[in-house]
Structure 1
Amino acid sequence: MIEVKTSPLSNGEFNRGVFATRDIKKGTLLHEAPVISYPNDQHEHIEKTILADYAFEYGKNHSAILLGYGMLFNHSYEPNAIYEINFENHTFEFYAFKDIKAGDEILINYNGDVDDKERLWFDQG
């Protein structure tokens, strides 16, 4: 259903993104990414690494590194996918927010809410 390929949206060292391999209907579970969480007071150590650009908020007192394809979804202020945190299973669940065509890149809003247009760190300055 999904695969990692070179993304025209990413200008990092690896230029990767997640793409649909077939048409996907709105509401479909795309991926469950297991979580490695850590207390926020340890984030200063992560800030010294490239992982800082990939960490997610995980509740009030923790941050998380996502496994699987979880850290490879690129950002859009007009996303075609959303994610929900499943604290019980320690996963982030990625769902199609709208119908996605085969070949389309699957994009999430890094702000955590599809309607949140607050500028992100890489769009500022």
Structure 2
Amino acid sequence: MTSTMEWIRRTYDVPARHGMRIEFDGKPATIVGAGGGYLRFRIDGEKRRTVGHPCYRIVYPAIPEPVRPRGWCKHCMQDRAMTADGVMGRHHWSGRNYSGSRSYRWSKPCPGVGEPPWKPVRNLTHPGEQREATS
């Protein structure tokens, strides 16, 4: 089972994380949670939380690209490092089998190792509101 925040990162290609500082409608804010596909954040100086879509009027800080390319594993649906060949690197998985019971007592190598990723990880500041690069 994945968290809502992880689902938001995977679906909208945004780097949203709990406690991350963002800009909402030009005002500084802090992400305090997520639920139902929406982010919950607190705008500086306000008492109440605001709920907003991850791509609507939110500008995320620029995140540097990782040293090793990353992708979403088709099998475990996790953000994992890839090899230089563009396939999923070695990682472990302790998931459930189709009947819902634990298939392993301890984590085992993920069956997605060596497969191409479901999609690459991209850290967009925002698809429609990219910050201008300063020279």
Q: Which has the larger radius of gyration?
A: 2
Higher relative contact order (CA 8 A, sep 6+): 1
Judging by fraction of residues, say which structure has more helix. 1
Judging by fraction of residues, say which structure has more strand. 1
Give yes or no for TM over 0.5.
no
What's the TM-score once normalised by structure 1's chain length? 0.25
What's the TM-score once normalised by structure 2's chain length? 0.24
